[in-house]
Amino acid sequence: MKFTCLSKGGGFHFPPCHMLSVSGFRILLDCPLDLSSLAIFSPVPIALEAHESLDTDSVVRKKQKIEKTLDANDLVFAEPWYKTVKSLHLWDASFIDVILISSPMGMLGLPFLTRTKDFSAKIYVTEAAARIGQLMMEDLVSMHMELRQFYGPEDSAFLQWMRWEGLEVLPSELKKIILGTDCEELGAWMPLYSAVDVKDCMRKVQTLKYAEEACYNGTLVIKAFSSGLEIGTCNWTINGPKRNIAYISSSIFVSTRAMDFNFLGLQGNDLIIFSDFSTLDTTENMENDNTYCDPVTSSNASDDLYNLEEIAASLLKDDESMEEMEKLAFICTCAFDSVRAGGSVLVPIDRLGIVLCLLEQMSLLLESSSLKVPIYIISSVAEELLAFTNIIPEWLCKQRQEKLFSGEPLFAHVKLIKERKIHVFPAVHSVELLTNWQEPCVVFCPHWSLRLGPVVHLLRYWCSDPNSLLILESGDDANLALLPFKPMAMKVLQCSFLSGISLQKVQPLLKALQPKLLLFPKDLRCKIQISEANTIIHYSENETLCMPSSKESTEIDIATDLASQFHWKTLKQETVTRLDGELFMDQGKHRLLSGFRQADSKQHRPLLHWGSPDLKRLLTELSKMGITGTLKKVMDSAESKNAAGIIDIDDPEKALIDVRETGTVIITADENLASHIFKAMDIVLDGI
């Protein structure tokens, strides 16, 4: 087995990506896009107002301010390209056999692979994640096409920024995003795929339910288990003939909207690939704050856990989810203060679950007050996405599922839309929106990068209003994201949400799963001490690790009619038997079934012999066949259990049988005589 971490990602919107080779098959784990890199581009209409051509004077001016504070004119004025996983373009897509997608964000880069020549990999993703991911890709294409109208056709000079003379004059901060630290990431940039590419990609996807088995090529048994991070997100198990693997992506034990993290479904696997890098981001944020404490020394409670039930109870405490609900309540309070002051609120958050919870809490808060403030949702896929979230109870947490049985909507937005307290529109320029528009208001719209979609127009409209509020998700460079809209009088609230397993729960989780081998990120090694796994291997980006098979022997299922034919014999302290059937792989197991060979009453000739022949008995068997010979030399060694000697055959033809401790040699020019001698050997030797 080989494992390569292609990218450790960059938070919720850019999950990690790995390449795994097991049982002769190459498996790609997630295929995301680094949409945070869109920050290097200038959004419209800034590009039209401040565009500078790459003439000599412009180059000189940019070189003079290259190390100064960034401003809007330093951004790239061009139709955006999109950054894939930096090392993925170096792999031949035709050699990939399986792709496992853990979240909707992890499939945004799939069309880049599926549109390549000779791509034939099987893509597995949960039903909910597939639908949400498809809508996200379609919305991305729609927003890009709207932006592209401002830059003109493809034959324009938008590729100037990728030429070396264009890259050299860019500020170092932008150049690092484009090229990477070692200037190896330029090849990861690509023009966006089309709507046709998205449809073609989805045709190649096989959807699964949670815990549903999918067998690839009769060898690998693949299952998805809920991770709790978002609706439809999952972790994977891969069971093969030589190894059972569990892949843990970013997970949340208790969720307020999605099905909880089913970590018990990951038990019984000898290898665990831990790929939740969100703990590193959380640690960094906590270290910047004075509230951070060492997880190794502060998580002593995990040492007092003696059984699985106690461990599970400690992991499923909803302290974190309660804290997140309090955070959402605080966001709604800040939004209420802004609209009460006459300002509007802009929410470009793309986390579906967070948006649904914010809609519920914000609507309740506004309804309890005397303010009549409309809530707008603007997106090309908003209507379809909101409708989808109310027909998927099996993908939601127990509290949401209980609403189904009581006759209530799964989420409150269904009722609020009917009561016209929430208004859904496909575009910011739609006639219905312009007719219905009133301020102050609360607007939910894409895109969190602040470079695409309705957020660009609305942010330009409200950025000078000190009473308005922009709610951003922390984790990205807010200064770079807001650069085109400065100076800003608008208030900005940055929020962080649950994105994965907290450091305090990593150790109890691994204690519950008890893997024989653990692949753990090297970046987290100094953050937490792992002691439950028998063997720990730390991995880092672009490093290929080779691991031996965990099973020394291969298990095989044998048909009942064949098992009844067992005739055991002992060979060098091993008990063996001979069977005749057809061997094939099914559901990750070797199976031996009766073959279609015609029935033969004659006993099959042994394929394997062992031991040294008894020379006197051999002479007797040869004489029965009409073959006469003489035992010329017999040597009994006191130090050896075997006898050695030479049999000289003179009738019917000349032959020689030389028996030694290391082996027996038969020499004759007559094929018929050699065949008879071999039959005699069959009689005197043990064989199967």
pLDDT tens across 123-163, in order?
999 999 999 999 999 999 999 999 888 766 554 444 677 77
* pLDDT at 123 (0 to 100): 98
557 three-class SS: strand
The answer to whether the pTM exceeds 0.85 is no
The closest alpha carbon to 664, from 649, 647, 650, belongs to 647
Note whether 363 and 242 are within 8 A (CB): no
Residue type at position 339: V
Q: Is a pLDDT exceeding 80 seen at residue 303?
A: no
| Cα(621)–Cα(263) distance, integer angstroms | 67
pLDDT category at 298 given cuts 50, 70, 90 is very low
For the ranges 36-45, 274-283, 449-458, the maximum mean pLDDT occurs at 449-458
The answer for residues whose C-beta is within 8 angstroms of residue 304's C-beta and 6 or more apart is none
| Cα(502)–Cα(504) distance, integer angstroms | 5
* pLDDT at 567 (0 to 100): 66
The answer for residues whose C-beta is within 8 angstroms of residue 441's C-beta and 6 or more apart is 339, 344, 345, 373, 374, 375, 376
SS (H, E, C) 229-241: CCCCCEEEEEECC
* pLDDT at 452 (0 to 100): 93
Q: Where are the beta strands (DSSP E) in 129-256?
A: 189-190, 205-208, 214-216, 220-226, 234-239, 244-248
* pLDDT at 136 (0 to 100): 97
Note whether 603 and 665 are within 8 A (CB): no
* pLDDT at 339 (0 to 100): 95
For the ranges 297-301, 364-368, 459-463, the maximum mean pLDDT occurs at 459-463
Average pLDDT in the 290-300 region? 37
The closest alpha carbon to 360, from 385, 331, 322, 401, belongs to 331
pLDDT tens across 164-182, in order?
777 888 888 888 899 888 7
677 three-class SS: helix
* pLDDT at 67 (0 to 100): 56
pLDDT tens across 387-443, in order?
999 999 999 999 999 988 888 889 999 999 999 999 999 999 899 999 999 999 999
Query: Residue 656: exposed, middle, or buried by beta-carbon count in 10 A (0-12, 13-18, 19+)?
Result: middle
* pLDDT at 687 (0 to 100): 65
| Cα(479)–Cα(41) distance, integer angstroms | 14
The closest alpha carbon to 304, from 316, 313, 291, belongs to 313
Total number of residues shown for the chain: 688
| The CA-based dihedral angle spanning residues 135, 138, 139, 140, taken in that order and rounded to the nearest 10 degrees | 120
pLDDT category at 315 given cuts 50, 70, 90 is confident
pLDDT category at 225 given cuts 50, 70, 90 is very high
> Which H helix or E strand runs over 425?
strand 422-425
* pLDDT at 154 (0 to 100): 54
* pLDDT at 597 (0 to 100): 54
| Start-to-end CA span in the chain (Å) | 34
pLDDT category at 585 given cuts 50, 70, 90 is low
pLDDT tens across 636-682, in order?
544 444 457 787 787 788 888 777 777 778 888 888 888 888 888 87
Average pLDDT in the 470-487 region? 88
Q: Which has more confidence, 185 or 208?
A: 208
Place of tokens 């049999």: 647
* pLDDT at 295 (0 to 100): 38
Average pLDDT in the 114-122 region? 94
558 three-class SS: strand
The closest alpha carbon to 520, from 1, 8, 9, belongs to 8
Q: Is a pLDDT exceeding 90 seen at residue 632?
A: no
- The answer as to CATH 3.60.15.10 being correct for domain 2-42+70-280+501-546 is yes
Place of tokens 């809007």: 72
* pLDDT at 594 (0 to 100): 74
pLDDT category at 243 given cuts 50, 70, 90 is confident
| Cα(245)–Cα(219) distance, integer angstroms | 13
| Cα(235)–Cα(100) distance, integer angstroms | 9
Query: Residue 119: exposed, middle, or buried by beta-carbon count in 10 A (0-12, 13-18, 19+)?
Result: middle
pLDDT category at 595 given cuts 50, 70, 90 is low
The answer for residues whose C-beta is within 8 angstroms of residue 509's C-beta and 6 or more apart is 263, 315, 501
Q: Is a pLDDT exceeding 80 seen at residue 367?
A: yes
Domain residue limits, the chain: 2-42+70-280+501-546, 319-495, 560-594, 609-687
* pLDDT at 304 (0 to 100): 43
CA atoms within 13 A on the CB side of 615: 23
* pLDDT at 157 (0 to 100): 44
DSSP alpha helix (H) spans, 83-126? 110-114
The answer for residues whose C-beta is within 8 angstroms of residue 113's C-beta and 6 or more apart is 31, 93, 96, 99, 119, 121
Note whether 225 and 234 are within 8 A (CB): yes
Note whether 353 and 258 are within 8 A (CB): yes
Phi-psi region for residue 310, left (φ > 0), alpha (ψ -120 to 50) or beta? alpha
Note whether 483 and 75 are within 8 A (CB): yes
Q: What is the mean pLDDT of the chain?
A: 83
| Cα(439)–Cα(457) distance, integer angstroms | 15
Give the other-Cβ count within 10 Å of 178's Cβ: 21
pLDDT category at 347 given cuts 50, 70, 90 is very high
The closest alpha carbon to 83, from 187, 189, 175, belongs to 189
Report the topology of domain 319-495.
Rossmann fold (3.40.50)
The closest alpha carbon to 506, from 250, 245, 228, 319, belongs to 250
